[in-house]
């Protein structure tokens, strides 16, 4: 089984982001980067499938700056067999990213292409769908279970108050959600072995941007809290404020 | 609790390789996810989190800087970063790994026979067996050369007699590296759990390193095969070379404790309001934070340079003494200062600073007390030994 895992380098979710001087991007100074957490579910699932089958190859593919080699090496340390970095030093829009990925994916002949359900930085949840459309492959997002059955794959996803099971032929594109599995840590031996695994760097094909970020801003600072009093005596005042000032009841 | 933010005032990260950062990241996540949630409870109960030992093995954190025998063969800087991250979790956890790696696997790797290496090292690396290191005795702590424990040759065996005290992992160890006098020379012996004449007692009542097992070891006509001697260690230099390894790790580990305390103190200072503003707006509080950040940064530079000397093969025991002494001293000062900054919250288990502060009292004492390292440096500087 040949599996491609598309992953994205994103600012660590614990990083306190600052807006850059251009007002449209985040200031990269002092930002720690990680593999987007949903992508970790995709990688883990690919490794589980490979382990269960006792054979196969897992390749991680990212569109990003040269520095994304750290995230690719981490994925190799966790257990992927090879990596591809589609180099793009500037931020791309979802369609540009999808086209860059398709440029690499189209000739690979993967049986399965896994993504995270969305990246945790831009949260667009567009790229996997755009790749699926470009490659005319079936796509299911937000999967929480996966079972390979010959030339088909059966996946489960949570719906509002229920569970949905979907089957589609391989090759397919799947977006992985929390709950699918429990991602492992890279081991030291894995990290050392990653040194010797192949990482290929390729240029992204230039595609016109269709979206432009005009402005980025931080959420407004939370106003200070107010204590209206203590005990049952304060309740009427609280209700009054909720009704008249906050207008929430 | 908010996620840990490490302090890197001098951009030391720019000097790390991608691989070293990956190693640190892996241990950091492991500690955040698998150690910190339960560590306060273990500390309060006085129990070691033995459930994580298999994971320590799977991740390769035991004997990580050794070559071969299922060990990762990491460079000294990456090894140091592991110690830092583990001790950011708890000094007891770092102690467990230091003992297993620096005081048990290292002497077997360096002084042991091929058979001993094959038998013990892969299992110790996996965490399927645990080791301990017995040097200190009830009457001989800072002065181990006076030890009473002795070995006598008898046919195909050695017979050991004596007692060891304050031994980390003692009760839970499957194999003990025991230092004893044979014909007046200090030699190392491997004593396996269950050997007749070998017993252990748990030392209870510590207020420090509570999430680590500390024990007495007793040898009463304990007969071990002659093959269990560490043939290539002869004299006090044997155990001291192990201590150099472990002290190296402590120099890094202490930075981890200090960073945990600083991170906690900084966040607390920014969120705790008194006199109408965050306590971090007062000069006295800022002075505390500035001192902490300065000393952590200096400690990082010491440890970084020490790692380079170690990999170059030129590191001296005295250089290690300087870093162990300095970094542990300041980690303890920082923990005390953070404890103070947190006010009453600082004496509870809601925050990690009290635990780090108590732990560091042991770290200051073991592996050569602060003052013994002062004397080692004094000896180095003046050429005059002042130990006795
Ligand atoms: C939690 C814990 C775990 C430990 N784990 C281990 C272990 O795994 N294996 C092991 O072998 N040991 C272990 N130890 C023992 C530790 O190494 C000793 O406690 C340490 O070497 C000091 O010995 P001591 O306690 O006998 O103190 P002492 O040597 O009695 O020292 C008492 C005080 O006198 C000072 N002092 C001593 N001599 C001099 C001198 N010449 N000049 C000036 N001051 C001096 C010391 O600095 C100290 O302040 C552990 C200790 C603790 C607390």
Nearest Cβ partner of B21 from A70, A185, A189?
A: A70
Structure confidence at residue A43 (pLDDT):
98
CB A175: neighbour CB atoms within 10 A?
Answer: 26
Return the CATH number at B119.
1.10.540.10
Q: Are residues B218 and B265 in the same domain?
A: no
- One domain, residues B214 and B241: no
Look at residue B1 and tell me if it is in a domain.
Answer: no
Do B136 and B113 share a structural domain? Answer: no
pLDDT tens digits along B90-126: 999 999 999 999 999 999 999 999 999 999 999 999 9
Cβ-Cβ contacts under 8 Å, B4 against chain A: 14
Q: Domain boundary residue among B178, B206, B228?
A: B228
State pTM to two decimals: 0.90
Is B61 within 8 Å of chain A by CB?
yes
Tell whether B259 and B356 lie within a shared domain: yes
* Subunit contact B19:A185, Cβ cutoff 8 A: no
Q: Return the number of CB contacts < 8 Å for A and B.
A: 49
Q: Using the 3D structure, point to which of B228, B250, B281 is the last residue of a domain.
A: B228
Same domain, B301 and B196: no
Q: What does the block give as tokens for B234? A: 């002869």
**Which residue is closest to A193 within chain B, CA to CA?**
B72
Question: Which of A14-18, A41-45, B128-132, B241-245 shows the lowest per-residue confidence on average (mean pLDDT)?
Answer: A14-18
Q: Is the CB of B139 under 6 A from ligand 1?
A: no
Residue B299: CB atoms within 10 Å: 25
The token pair at B105 is: 């696997």
Choose, out of A74, A75, A191, A196, the residue to mutate when testing the contact with B (most B CBs < 10 Å).
A191
Classify residue B5: in a domain, yes or no.
no
The SS3 assignment for A202 reads strand
What domain count does chain B have?
A: 3
What pLDDT, on the 0 to 100 scale, is given for residue B1?
55
In a shared domain, residues B219 and B332: no
Q: Does B17 touch chain A (CB under 8 A)?
A: no
Same domain, B378 and B241: yes
Report d(CA B366, CA B91) in Å as an integer: 12
Q: Decide: B203 in ligand 1 pocket, CB within 6 A.
A: no
For residues B338 and B242, membership in a common domain is answered with yes
B60 interfaces chain A, CB cutoff of 8 Å: yes
State how beta strands A2-6 and B175-182 pair. Answer: unpaired
Instruction: Name the packing angle between helices B283-312 and B237-271 (round to 10°).
Output: 150
Is position B7 within any domain?
no
For residues B38 and B117, give the distance between their C-alpha atoms in angstroms, rounded to a whole number.
34
Distant-in-sequence, close-in-space partners of A58: CB < 8 Å, separation ≥ 6: A3, A4, A5, A43, A46, A47, A50, A79, A80, A81, A82
> Do B34 and B149 fall into the same domain?
no
**In B11-132, which residue ranges form alpha helices assigned H by DSSP?**
18-30, 36-45, 53-59, 76-89, 91-98, 106-111, 114-126
ipTM for this model: 0.81
Question: Does some domain include residue B205?
Answer: yes
In a domain, B387, yes or no: no
Q: Among B74, B102, B126, where does a domain finish?
A: B126
* Residue B282 belongs to domain with CATH number: 1.20.140.10
Is A14's pLDDT higher than 90?
no
Ligand 1 centre to CA of B368 (Å) is 6
For residues B244 and B375, membership in a common domain is answered with yes
Same domain, B285 and B300: yes
- Please check whether residue B4 lies inside any domain of the structure: no
Q: What pLDDT, in 10s, does the model give residues A185-216?
A: 999 999 999 989 999 999 988 889 988 889 98
Tell me if B115 is assigned to some domain.
yes
pLDDT at A27: 87
CATH number of the CATH domain containing B216: 2.40.110.10
Measured between beta carbons, the chain A residues lying within 8 angstroms of B19 are 73, 191-192, 194-195
Establish whether B367 is a catalytic residue.
yes
Pairing mode, strands B214-225 and B198-202:
antiparallel
Span A82-126, pLDDT tens digits: 999 999 988 899 999 999 999 999 999 999 999 999 999 888 899
The pLDDT of residue A161? 87
Distance B199 CA to ligand 1 centre (A): 22
pLDDT < 50 stretches in chain B: none
Residue A122: predicted pLDDT: 83
Q: Which atom of ligand 1 is nearest to the CA of B140?
A: 26
- The residues spanned by each domain of chain A are 2-203
pLDDT at B309: 98
Average pLDDT over all residues of chain A: 92
Q: pLDDT digit string (tens) for A211-235?
A: 888 998 888 888 778 888 888 888 9
Distance CA B129, CA B174 (A): 6
CATH class of this structure's domain A2-203: alpha beta
Atom number, ligand 1, closest to the C-alpha of residue B367: 17
A45-60 mean pLDDT: 96
List the domain range (segments joined by +) for residue B367.
237-382
pLDDT digits (tens, 9 = 90+) for B132-188: 999 999 999 999 999 999 999 999 999 999 999 999 999 999 999 999 999 999 999
**B355 Cβ partners below 8 Å, 6+ apart?**
B39, B40, B43, B90, B349
Q: Evaluate whether B322 touches B377 at the Cβ level (below 8 Å).
A: yes
Same domain, residue pair B145 and B121: no
């Amino acid at each position: 089984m040949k599996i491609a895992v598309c992953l994205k380098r994103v600012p660590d979710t614990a990083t306190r982001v600052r807006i850059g001087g251009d007002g449209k991007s985040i200031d990269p100074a002092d930002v720690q980067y990680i593999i987007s957490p949903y992508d970790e579910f995709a990688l883990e699932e690919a490794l589980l499938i490979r382990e269960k089958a006792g054979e196969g190859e897992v390749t991680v593919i990212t569109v990003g700056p040269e520095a994304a080699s750290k995230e690719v090496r981490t994925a190799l340390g966790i257990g992927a067999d090879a990596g591809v970095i589609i180099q793009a030093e500037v931020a791309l829009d979802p369609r540009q990213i999808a086209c860059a990925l398709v440029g690499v994916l189209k000739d690979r002949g993967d049986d399965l292409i896994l993504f995270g359900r969305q990246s945790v930085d831009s949260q667009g949840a567009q790229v996997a769908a755009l790749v699926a459309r470009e490659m005319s492959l079936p796509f299911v997002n937000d999967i929480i279970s996966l079972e390979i059955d010959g030339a088909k794959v059966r996946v489960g996803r949570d719906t509002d108050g229920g569970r949905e099971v979907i089957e589609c032929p391989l090759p397919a594109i799947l977006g992985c959600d929390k709950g699918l599995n429990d991602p492992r840590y890279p081991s030291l031996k894995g990290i050392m072995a990653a040194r010797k695994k192949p990482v290929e760097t390729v240029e992204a094909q230039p595609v016109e941007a269709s979206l432009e970020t005009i402005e980025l801003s931080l959420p407004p600072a939370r106003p200070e809290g107010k204590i209206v009093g203590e005990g049952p005596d304060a309740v009427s005042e609280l209700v009054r404020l909720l009704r008249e000032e906050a207008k929430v009841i | 609790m908010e996620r840990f933010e490490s302090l890197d005032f001098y951009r030391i990260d720019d000097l790390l390789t991608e691989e070293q950062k990956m190693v640190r990241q892996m241990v950091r996540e492991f500690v955040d996810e698998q150690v910190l949630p339960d560590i306060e409870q273990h500390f309060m109960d006085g129990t070691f989190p033995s459930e994580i030992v298999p994971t320590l093995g799977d991740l390769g954190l035991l004997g990580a800087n050794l070559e071969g025998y299922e060990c990762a063969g990491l460079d000294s800087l990456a090894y140091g970063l592991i110690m830092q991250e583990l001790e950011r979790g708890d000094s007891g956890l770092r102690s467990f790994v230091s003992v297993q790696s620096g005081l048990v696997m290292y002497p077997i790797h360096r002084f042991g026979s091929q058979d001993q290496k094959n038998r013990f090292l892969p299992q110790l690396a996996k965490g399927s067996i645990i080791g301990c290191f017995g040097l200190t005795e009830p009457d001989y702590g800072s002065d181990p050369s006076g030890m009473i424990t002795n070995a006598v040759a008898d046919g195909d065996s050695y017979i050991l007699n004596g007692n060891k005290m304050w031994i980390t992992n003692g009760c839970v160890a499957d194999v003990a590296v025991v230092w004893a006098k044979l014909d007046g020379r200090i030699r190392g012996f491997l004593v396996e759990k269950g050997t007749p004449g070998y017993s252990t007692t748990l030392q209870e009542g510590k207020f420090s390193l509570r999430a680590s097992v500390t024990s007495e070891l007793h040898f009463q006509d304990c007969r071990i095969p002659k093959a269990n001697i560490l043939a290539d260690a002869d004299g006090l230099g044997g155990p001291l070379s192990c201590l150099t390894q472990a002290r190296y790790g402590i120099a890094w580990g202490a930075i981890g404790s200090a960073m945990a305390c600083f991170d906690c103190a900084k966040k607390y200072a920014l969120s705790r309001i008194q006199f109408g503003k965050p306590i971090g707006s007062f000069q006295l509080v800022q002075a505390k934070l500035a001192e902490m950040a300065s000393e952590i940064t200096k400690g990082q530079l010491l440890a970084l340079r020490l790692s380079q000397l170690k990999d170059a093969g030129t590191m001296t025991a005295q250089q290690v003494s300087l870093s162990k002494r300095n970094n542990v001293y300041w980690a303890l000062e920082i923990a005390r200062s953070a404890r103070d900054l947190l006010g009453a919250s600082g004496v509870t288990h809601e925050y990690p600073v009290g635990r780090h502060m108590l732990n560091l009292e042991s770290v200051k004492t073991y592996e050569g007390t602060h003052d013994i390292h002062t004397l080692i440096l004094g000896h180095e500087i003046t050429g005059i030994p002042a130990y006795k």
